[in-house]
């Protein structure tokens, strides 16, 4: 058996937690061998995979997408087309989130700068600034934390 690493050693070398390694194994992303006492033993290749997973996660990719990338790579093909597709999806998600945040900011600015219709509070509203606003902050609205 080539030089094998323990869970702690691979966690440190790859910059991930032991718990993350267990999750990666459960999801089939890593396949450590088992030593004679049942402990997980990792190869140097598994360190490279764990580092790749950490970097892909830092880009916002999910474990399902990473599993797809690894499957393509393990089949002997270059997974770059798969990676580009996932990055395009992630960029679209970020663009949508930015648009939602801009809309929320506009709503907040409007609520902050619009004088309440009933400044004295005779309407029974808790706060006319909030009660008088549209209450739409993207999808849903809601009670603003009052339950």
What is the model's pLDDT at position 20? Answer: 97
Provide the 3-class DSSP secondary structure of residue 96: helix
What is the model's pLDDT at position 130? Answer: 79
Separation of alpha carbons 24 and 28, rounded Å? 6
Look up residue 49 and give its two tokens: 């995979």
Percent of the chain with pLDDT over 70: 81
Separation of alpha carbons 92 and 43, rounded Å? 36
pLDDT tens per residue across span 102-135: 999 999 999 888 876 666 656 666 787 777 655 5
Domains of the chain in sequence order: 7-79 (1.10.1660.10)
What is the model's pLDDT at position 48? Answer: 95
pLDDT tens per residue across span 4-30: 899 999 999 999 999 999 999 999 999
């Amino acid at each position: 058996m080539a030089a094998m690493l323990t869970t702690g050693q691979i966690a440190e070398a790859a910059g991930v937690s032991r718990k993350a390694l267990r999750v990666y194994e459960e999801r089939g992303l890593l396949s450590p061998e088992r030593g004679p006492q049942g402990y997980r033993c990792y190869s140097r290749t598994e360190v490279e995979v764990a580092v790749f997973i950490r970097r892909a996660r830092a880009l916002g990719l999910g474990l399902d997408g990473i599993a797809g990338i690894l499957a393509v790579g393990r089949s002997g093909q270059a997974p770059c087309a798969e990676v580009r597709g996932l990055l395009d999806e992630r960029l679209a998600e970020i663009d949508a989130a930015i648009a939602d945040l801009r809309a929320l900011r506009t709503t907040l600015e409007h609520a902050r700068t619009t004088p309440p219709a009933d400044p004295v509070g005779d309407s029974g509203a808790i706060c006319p600034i909030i009660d008088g606003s549209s209450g739409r902050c993207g999808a849903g609205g809601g009670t603003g934390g009052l339950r």
